[in-house]
Amino acid sequence: MNQFFNNKKLIILLISVITFISLIAYSLTNNREDTSIPQQVGNDVTGSIARIFSKPAEVVANFVDSVDNLMNTYEENQSLKSKIDTVYELQVKVYNLEQENARMQEELELKSTLSEYEQINASVVSRNPDSWLNQIVIDKGSQDGVEVDMSVMAGNGLIGRVSEVSSTSAKVLLLTTSNDTTNRVSAEIQTESGPVHGIVNGYDENTKMLSMSQIAPDAVINPGDSVITSGLGGVSPSALLIGTVKEVSMDSYGLFKQVTIEPAGEVYNIRFVTVIKRLSGSGE
């Protein structure tokens, strides 16, 4: 008996579905004016149901479109970000190339002023941040003719001397080193009244100036006078430019004059150097 009622319900449901589909088909094939009242009611019900289901479908479709647009926007942003990063990298490379070209141009100009000396051109391969102002390592060594105590120049002036040499590299002790006992250089100031001798023996990291002491107290020195190596210290050849006089004063004891020198050589951004090989008759 229960199975009969279940079958009956299924038959009624099927008949209802068929009738509903028939009403929809009939409403689509006939004008509203030609339909009866029951058919119109069926059409209205069908239209209402269709509108009810169309709204969520429209919302879902709009959501899918929004997600798709968002994904496209994200991909475009990633592409633009990649291009911007590439532009930044190119700008850095161009800047580095410009800086290297400027340094190489300085070395070429320096080379033209040192025609009476044998020169060895080298590049800086190492510079420890803990000893930034003390020493550098260059890519030329004994097999290239580099020897201990050879003078080293960068930019337009003297920056130090070779302190250690291996077959393929060398260490350069800088004039800016904090070790006052090892950075002394015999120098002379070219004044209108003649050369004035002294010792370059210090560097002030705050003012970025070299200092020269043991100068005769009656020497007439003016700011702007050139300071060069004298060739009297047994290490550097003569006439290598060190810098220009910035200030002149008496020392704390009032016995000697002391001079502040603006370095002619590169101090911080040293990439290329010129090692000066002393020739016989060059001053020492």
Last residue of a domain, one of 61, 77, 105: 61
Verify that 49 and 120 share a domain, yes or no. Answer: no
Q: What is the CATH number of the domain that holds 170?
A: 2.40.10.350
pLDDT at 246 over 90: yes
Verify that 133 and 30 share a domain, yes or no. Answer: no
Report helix, strand or coil for 20.
helix
Verify that 137 and 226 share a domain, yes or no. Answer: yes
Q: Residue 143 — very low, low, confident or very high, per pLDDT cuts 50/70/90? A: very high
Last residue of a domain, one of 61, 76, 104: 61
Residue 79 lies inside a defined structural domain of this protein: no
Determine the Cα–Cα distance for residues 50 and 27; give it in Å rounded to an integer.
13
Give the position of tokens 């001079």.
259
Verify that 146 and 262 share a domain, yes or no. Answer: yes
Verify that 164 and 233 share a domain, yes or no. Answer: yes
Per the structure, how many domains does the chain have?
Answer: 2
pLDDT, tens digit, 9 for 90 and up, residues 167-193: 999 999 999 988 767 778 999 999 988
pLDDT at 34 over 70: no
Verify that 50 and 119 share a domain, yes or no. Answer: no
Residue 74 lies inside a defined structural domain of this protein: no
Residue 70 lies inside a defined structural domain of this protein: no
Residue 100 lies inside a defined structural domain of this protein: no
Residue 181 lies inside a defined structural domain of this protein: yes
Residue 209 lies inside a defined structural domain of this protein: yes
Verify that 130 and 271 share a domain, yes or no. Answer: yes
Choose from 30-44, 47-61, 176-190, 199-213 the range with maximum mean pLDDT.
199-213
Residue 274, domain extent: 114-284
Residue 265 lies inside a defined structural domain of this protein: yes
Verify that 57 and 167 share a domain, yes or no. Answer: no
The pTM is what? 0.61
Verify that 14 and 139 share a domain, yes or no. Answer: no
- pLDDT higher at 37 or 12: 12
Determine the Cα–Cα distance for residues 261 and 239; give it in Å rounded to an integer.
16
Contacts of 282 (CB under 8 A, 6+ apart): 116, 117, 231, 237, 238
pLDDT, tens digit, 9 for 90 and up, residues 3-12: 544 556 666 6
Residue 34 lies inside a defined structural domain of this protein: yes
Verify that 162 and 232 share a domain, yes or no. Answer: yes
pLDDT at 42 over 70: no
Average pLDDT over residues 9-20: 65
pLDDT, tens digit, 9 for 90 and up, residues 79-136: 777 777 676 666 666 666 666 666 666 655 555 555 467 889 899 999 988 888 899 9
- Scanning the chain, the segments in alpha helix (DSSP H) are 2-29, 37-113
Average pLDDT over residues 216-235: 89
pLDDT at 4: 44
pLDDT at 238: 84
Last residue of a domain, one of 20, 45, 61: 61
pLDDT at 233: 73
